Chain A
Amino acid sequence: MPDSGAGRLVLLILAAVFAFLYVPIAVLVGLSFNASGLPTAWTGFSTRWYAALLQNGEILGAARNTLIVAAASTAIATLLGTALAVGVELRRRRSRGIEALIFAPMIIPDIVLAIALLSFFSLLRIPMGLHTIVMAHVVFNLAFVCAVVRARLKSFDWSIVEASSDLGASLVTTWVRVVLPVIAPAIVAGALLAFTLSVDEFIIAFFTAGAGRASITLPMQVYAMIRFGVTPEINALATLVMGASLVALALAQRLNRRTLGA
């Protein structure tokens, strides 16, 4: 079949789709190593834009903010999301209403969430800054962590909890030594997912950051820079962020596969 006309056509379409998806990214990565500052000419391989990036105080400050927001919102969302997943799973009577409430932040458009959070913070007269971005990111990260952990709990064998208690363990010991270790890969996978989502989140951060440069995150910094055209520095930055995200996602997927396969 692969030699037939139809087979070749399918391969061609497939190649075109992949090209459409990945050629722009490849170009971006390539240009980040271009010695010339112009996107129109290749003048040789160079890492000068990466060096320039590391000299740029504004970018480094934004990167620091992003890491703070991602780390803090991931930590809080992982704790609350795991507790929520377990709590919902342990409930005897399933309620569709609660399910919908938990997963809504994943589906509601970011712009709606952004406006809602902005109005909420202004209404309560909460001064905005990094802490409000963290709170805002917790809102959607919580839903994602909860979803990943619940997927694992669906196949969790609760009889091992009874076995632990039967063997003399208290409730706390059972959680620490049996339940958490068994669902740990799913918790870590959820946390990694939350972290990556938080790192490149723009709209919500933009709306809840408040005025001033102090709480600018990396996506906001890129947005600010890009208004004066795409500089090779931005290409280098994008390449770095993409690399880090890919590593995190690959890690999350491997952990998740291991939990589901167990």
Chain B
Amino acid sequence: MRPVVEIEGVVRRFGSVTAVDGVSLAIAEGAFFALLGASGSGKTTLLRMLAGFEMPDAGRILLDGADITRTPPNRRPVNLMFQSYALFPHMTVAQNVAYGLEMERRPRAEIRARVAEMLETVQLLPLAGRRPDQLSGGQRQRVALARALVKRPRVLLLDEPLGALDAKLRGQMQLELKRLQHEVGITFIVVTHDQDEALVMADRIAILRAGRLEQVGTPREVYESPATRYAADFIGQMNFLPGHALPGGLRLPDGGLVRVAGEGPVQGEAVAAVRPERIRLGPGENTLTGTVRALAYHGLDLQLQVETPAAAEPVTLRLTAGEAETAPGIGERVTLGWAARDTRIFPA
């Protein structure tokens, strides 16, 4: 099946800054696609090009196979939910949501029915007569969402949709957005700089770095098999052990060997990478010994920082609640082990 959105070699420069630098992406129908990247990596710029507010300096954007690169925003079957929500302050909730349908010159009865249905979906029906300044942050966020969704766009673009909410509400809304997306069956492209959020919500993630794509894949792929050191560092927690690459592994400065499965550099300076939750107490295919320097209790798990002669940075591991019962104390000597297949190697 043809992807809904195809981005082909898109470039956007602002003066001497290249905000988006040759990005190519295909986004499948019905996907929940996350654009993830640090501040200034070009996420908003890319999204604004999809909405039509920025023109690419090079490249094309296709929607359902048709070139929309030069189509103005008001003629694209694509809607953007603004980071600031951009609600019309002089209109009620219902008028805000109806606006887009009025622009399509839909019959009054249809507008009324669709607005009511949409407000019902986002649980705002009782607040239909209020103005934006009489709403809480979470309610405004849902009005913005309803206003964009009611037009049934081919693609809904969301710029940091949960950025303005507090941590708890954010967690709820992440699941809520996912449920809603499933319910309406519209392709969502969401921008976020929060990797947890991307992992929870998206079914595909693109990692942007300085305007270029670092990796595109499912949450599991980017988490389990990061393509680059940057991606490995950006998503989740990661231990990096610098050393010298050799075929099948990496030589640590203290002479120890880290065995690595899969491809990577076979010579030169390199780093071995392993997730904290993959390391267990006791020897394994790869083994390090060291001294416990710090313990941090996180409710679900216990994090241990272990100082080893093999690396300057302490190695972090996560013990589950069960294992934590018999955890070593600070200052105790421990042996750490993990499997070769849980280890990746990247050029330094």
The yes or no answer to B90 lying at the interface (CB within 8 A) is: yes
30 contacts between A and B (CB under 8 A): A159-B86, A160-B86, A160-B87, A160-B89, A162-B82, A162-B86, A163-B82, A163-B86, A163-B88, A163-B147, A164-B88, A164-B99, A165-B72, A165-B74, A166-B51, A166-B73, A166-B74, A167-B74, A167-B99, A167-B100, A167-B103, A167-B147, A167-B148, A168-B75, A168-B100, A168-B104, A170-B74, A178-B88, A182-B89, A182-B90
Which residues from B are CB-within-8-Å of A167?
74, 79, 99-100, 103, 147-148, 151
Contact B89 A262 (CB under 8 A): yes
What 3 pairs between A and B have smallest CB-CB spacing? A168-B103, A167-B100, A163-B86
Number of interface residues, chain B, beta carbon within 8 A: 24
Which residues from B are CB-within-8-Å of A165?
72-74
Contact A166 B80 (CB under 8 A): yes
A167 to B100, CA, bound (A): 5
The yes or no answer to A169 lying at the interface (CB within 8 A) is: yes
Within 8 A of A (CB), among B112-151: 133, 147-148, 151
Given A166-B148, A169-B103, A170-B74: 11 more A-B contacts, CB < 8 Å: A157-B86, A160-B89, A163-B86, A166-B73, A166-B79, A167-B103, A167-B151, A168-B74, A169-B74, A181-B90, A182-B89
The yes or no answer to B297 lying at the interface (CB within 8 A) is: no
Q: Contact string, B52-94, partner A, CB cutoff 8 A, digits 1/0? A: 1100000000000000000011110001101010111110000
- What is the count of residue pairs linking A and B with beta-carbon distances less than 8 angstroms? 61
The yes or no answer to A122 lying at the interface (CB within 8 A) is: no
Which residues from A are CB-within-8-Å of B52?
166
The yes or no answer to A119 lying at the interface (CB within 8 A) is: no
A48 to B80, CA, bound (A): 68
> What is the interface of chain A, defined by CB distance below 8 A to chain B?
157, 159-160, 162-170, 173, 177-178, 181-182, 262
A96 to B284, CA, bound (A): 71
Closest chain-B Cβ to A153's Cβ sits at a distance in Å of: 14
Most buried by B among A162, A165, A168, A170: A168
Contact B147 A159 (CB under 8 A): no
Which residues from A are CB-within-8-Å of B151?
167-168
A163 to B51, CA, bound (A): 10
A157 to B89, CA, bound (A): 10
Which residues from B are CB-within-8-Å of A170?
74
Which residues from A are CB-within-8-Å of B104?
168
Which residues from A are CB-within-8-Å of B89?
157, 160, 182, 262
A181 to B151, CA, bound (A): 23
Which residues from A are CB-within-8-Å of B99?
164, 167, 169, 177
Q: Contact string, B17-60, partner A, CB cutoff 8 A, digits 1/0? A: 00000000000000000000000000000000001110000000
A71 to B103, CA, bound (A): 36
Quick one: closest A residue to B84, CB to CB? Answer: A159
Closest chain-B Cβ to A180's Cβ sits at a distance in Å of: 10
Which residues from A are CB-within-8-Å of B75?
168
Which residues from A are CB-within-8-Å of B53?
162, 166
A157 to B88, CA, bound (A): 10
Quick one: closest B residue to A177, CB to CB? Answer: B99
Within 8 A of A (CB), among B100-115: 100, 103-104
Closest chain-B Cβ to A23's Cβ sits at a distance in Å of: 43
Closest chain-B Cβ to A169's Cβ sits at a distance in Å of: 5
Quick one: closest B residue to A167, CB to CB? Answer: B100
Which residues from B are CB-within-8-Å of A173?
103
Quick one: closest B residue to A169, CB to CB? Answer: B103
A261 to B298, CA, bound (A): 44
A166 to B151, CA, bound (A): 11
A162 to B82, CA, bound (A): 9
Contact A160 B88 (CB under 8 A): yes
A167 to B102, CA, bound (A): 9
Closest chain-A Cβ to B328's Cβ sits at a distance in Å of: 54
Most buried by B among A157, A167, A170, A177: A167
A162 to B86, CA, bound (A): 8
Closest chain-B Cβ to A112's Cβ sits at a distance in Å of: 41
Closest chain-B Cβ to A162's Cβ sits at a distance in Å of: 6
Which residues from A are CB-within-8-Å of B133?
262
Closest chain-B Cβ to A110's Cβ sits at a distance in Å of: 37
Which residues from B are CB-within-8-Å of A164?
88, 99
